[in-house]
Structure 1
Amino acid sequence: MIDMHCDVLMKLWEEPHKSFSDDDLHISYNKWLNSPVQVQYFAIFVPPETSQDYFQSALEMIDLFHEKIIKPYPGIKWVQTKEEVEALSPHEKGAVLTLEGCHVIGEDLMKLRTLLRLGVRAVGLTWNNVNALSGTCVEDEELGLTTLGKAAVKTINEYNAFVDCSHLSPAGIDDVLELADRPMISHSNAKAIYQHERNISDQQLKQFFEQKAPVGITFVPYFTAKDGVNIEDLLNHINHMYELGGRDSISFGSDFDGMSETIQGLEDIEAVRNLYHKLAHHYSSDDVYRMRYDNAVRFL
C-alpha cells in the first residue's frame, strides 16, 4: 500500500529528542516494518504559528528526513520516481518527500525551485492559512490562485511534480485543474458523505477522476463522520467515490501523526491491515490493487 500523507517530520522537528524508533508515533520504524504500507509520503509542514523562519524550518525538516529516517535504516530507501518505487524489494520501504503549505516560500519562487531540486515530489499550495498563492478551504474560499500561485503551478509542472489540492480553496482547485499537469488530493474525503470544509465536493472530485488523478482518502475521524468513527464510516467515503467514477483515482493519505484522534481500528500504520482486509471483502483484487498502490504511483 502507498500512504500519500503523514506528519512525522513535524513531530521530529517539534521534539528534537525524538527518534523515528519512538513507538509513541503513529508511524515509527518498527510499526512501519510491521505494516502493509510499502511507500510512505513524508510531508514538510511548518506550523504557521511558529516564530522560526519558515523556509529555514522546511530545510531542517528535509535534513531530519535524511538524518533520522533514511540514513539510520538501510531498508528504507528515498524514492522519487515510479521506477524507483517498482525497484523496491519486498522487504524494503520507500520514503517520498512532499510539501504541505507554500507559506514557507513567501513570495519567492526560487525557494520553491530549491525544494523541488531537493526532491519534493508533491506540493500543497496552501495549508489552512491564506498565503501569497491562494485562498484556502478555511479562509477566503472564493479566492483562487493569484498570479504568483499560477506561476508556482507552472514551476511545479517543470519538475514533473504533483500539485496537491488538499487544504486549497474550491476556487483554487478549479484553477489547478486547468493548469496542473499532475493534480492530486493527498488527504481529503467526500463532502457529500460528511460536510466538512476539508472535504471535496462531488463536482470537483469528478474532475480529478476524469484525469485519473490520485485522491487520497484520509483517516482523520473528524473529516469522516460525527461520532464513534470506525472503518465502516471510512468505507462510506470510498464507496461513494467509487460509484462517482473514482476507480482509477482512489488512494490513501492517512495524516498519521497530524491528528489528535484516530479512527477505531486505524490507530496507527500497523492497523492499516484492518482497512486492507475490509477492502478485500468489498472490492475485487484488481480494484484493491488500484486503490492501495497503482493509482498513487501511476504518475509519480
Structure 2
Amino acid sequence: MIDMHCDVLLKLWEDSSKTFEDDDLHISYNKWMESPVQVQYFAIFVPPEIDSDYFQATLDMVDLFHRKIIEPYSNIKWVQSKEDIEALKPHEKGAMLTLEGCHVIGEDLVKLRTLLRLGVKAVGLTWNTVNAVSGTCVEQVDQGLTEFGKRVVETINEYDAFVDCSHLSPAGIDDVLKLAEKPMISHSNAKSVYHHDRNISDDHLKQFFAKKAPVGVTFVPYFTQSDRATIDDLMAHVDHMYQLGGRDSIAFGSDFDGVTETIDHLHDITDVHHVITALKDRYELADVYRMTYDNAIRLLDS
C-alpha cells in the first residue's frame, strides 16, 4: 500500500528527544517495517498557533525527515518519482515529502519554490485556517483562490507536483480543478456518506474521478462515522466512491500521528493489513492493486 498522509514529522518536531524508533508513534520504524505500507508520504505541518517563524519550522522538519527517517536506515529510501518507487526492492520502504498548509510561505513564492526544489511533491494549499492562498473548509468557505493563490497553483504546476485539496474550501476546490495540472485529495472522506466539513462532496469527487486524480480515503474516525468507527464504516466511503466512478482514483491517506483517536482495529500502521483484507473481500485483485498502489502514483511523473 501507499499511504499519502501522516504527521510523524510534527511529532518529531514537537519533541526533539523523540526518534523514529519510538513505538508510541502510530508510524515508527519497527511498525512500518512490519506493515504492508511500502511508501509513506510524510507531511510537513506547522501548527499555525506557534510563536516561532513558520518557514524556519518548515525547514527544521525537512531536516528531521533526513536526519531521523532517511539517513539512519539503509532500507528507507527518499523517493521523488514513480521511477524511484518502482525501483524499491522488496525489503525497502520509500519516503516522500509533502506540505500541509501554505501559511508557511506567507505571500512569498521564493519560499514555495525552495520547498519544491527540496523535494516536496504535493502541496496542501490550506490547513483549517485561512491564509493568503484561499479560504478553507471551515473558515471563509465561499472564498476561492486569491490572485496569489492562483500564482501558487501555477508554480506547483511548473514543478510537476500535486495540488492537494484536503482542508480547502469548496470554492477553492472549484478553482484548483480549473487550474491545477495535478489535483489530488490526500486525506478526506465522502461527505454524502458522513457529513463533515473536512469531507468532499459527490460533485467534487466525480470531477476528481474524471481526471483519474488520486483521492485518499482517510482513517480519521470522526471523518468516517459519528459514533465508534469501524473498518466497515471506512469501507462504506470506499464503496461509495467506487460507485461514483472512483475506480482509478481511490487511494489512502491515513493521517496517522495526526489523530488521537483511531478506527477500531486500525490503531497504527501495522493494522493496515485489515484494510487490505476488507478490500479483497469486496473487489477484484486488479482493483485492490489500483486502490492500494497504482492510483496514488500513476500521475506522479506524467
TM-score, length of structure 1 as denominator length: 1.00
How far residue 176 of structure 1 moved from its aligned partner, in angstroms, is 0.2
Instruction: Quote the Cα distance in structure 2 between the aligned partners of 1:140 and 1:286.
Output: 41
Aligned partners of 2:74, 2:21: CA distance in 1, in Å? 14
Distance 2:145 2:89 in 1: 41
Q: State the superposition RMSD in angstroms.
A: 0.3
Aligned to 1:220: 220
What whole-Å deviation, never above 9, does each CA across 1:158-191 have from its counterpart, x for those lacking one? 0000000000000000000000000000000000
C-alpha distance in 2 between matches for 1:9 and 1:42:
7
Letter of the 2:9 partner, please give it. Answer: L
* Ranges in structure 2 where 5+ consecutive residues have no aligned partner: none
Indicate whether 1:290 and 2:294 are aligned.
no
The SS at the match of 2:141 is: coil
Report the counterpart of residue 240 of structure 1 in structure 2. 240
Matched, 1:203 2:203: yes
Task: Measure how far apart 1:11 and its partner are.
Answer: 0.3
Quote the residue 1:8 is aligned against.
8
User: What pairs up with 1:67-216 in 2 under 5 angstroms?
Assistant: 67-216=67-216
> What are the Cα deviations for residues 101-146 of structure 1, in whole angstroms up to 9, with x where unaligned?
0000000000000000000000000000000000000100000000
SS of 2:94's partner is strand
What SS does the aligned partner of 1:84 have? helix
Query: What is the distance in 2 between the residues matched to 1:52 and 1:86?
Result: 39
TM-aligned CA deviation for residue 299 of structure 1: 1.1
Q: Secondary structure at the match of 1:142?
A: coil
Which consecutive segments of 4 or more residues in structure 1 shift more than 3 A? none
SS of 2:295 mapped into structure 1: helix
Supply the distance in 2 between the matched residues of 1:77 and 1:48 (Cα, whole angstroms): 30
Given residue 228 of structure 1, which amino acid in structure 2 is its aligned partner?
Answer: R
C-alpha separation in 2, matches of 1:283 and 1:87: 27
Q: Deviations over 1:170-217 (max 9, x none)?
A: 000000000000000000000000000000000000000000000000
Letter in 1 for 2:190: A
1:63 aligns with 2:63: yes
Q: Secondary structure at the match of 1:163?
A: strand
1:260 positional shift: 1.2
What SS does structure 2 have at the residue aligned with 1:149?
helix
CA distance in structure 1 between the partners assigned to 2:228 and 2:212 by the alignment: 32
Deviations 1:6-38, CA, capped at 9 Å, x for gaps? 000000000110000000000000000000000
Quick one: which amino acid aligns to residue 64 of structure 1? Answer: L
How far apart in 2 are the matches of 1:75 and 1:196?
39
Q: Secondary structure at the match of 1:292?
A: helix
TM-score relative to the length of structure 2: 0.99
Residue of structure 2 equivalent to 1:229: 229
Counterpart CA distance in 1 for 2:225 and 2:15 is 31
Q: Distance in 1 between matches of 2:199 and 2:250?
A: 14
For 2:267, the equivalent position in structure 1 comes to 267
Could you tell me which residue of structure 2 aligns to residue 253 of structure 1?
Answer: 253
The residue number in structure 1 matching 2:50 is 50
User: 1:46-91: per-residue Cα shift (whole Å, max 9, x none)?
Assistant: 0000111000000000000000000001100000000000000011
Residues 189-247 of structure 1 show CA distances to partners (whole Å, capped at 9, x for unaligned) of 00000000000000000000000000000000000001111100000000000000000
1:31 aligns with 2:37: no
Paired letter, 1:261: E
The 2-side partners of 1:96 and 1:253 are apart by 13
In structure 2, C-alpha distance between the alignment counterparts of 1:10 and 1:194, rounded to whole Å: 28
How far apart, in 2, do the equivalents of 1:60 and 1:228 lie? Answer: 36
Alignment partner of 1:287: what SS? Answer: helix
Identity over aligned pairs, percent: 72
Aligned residues: 300
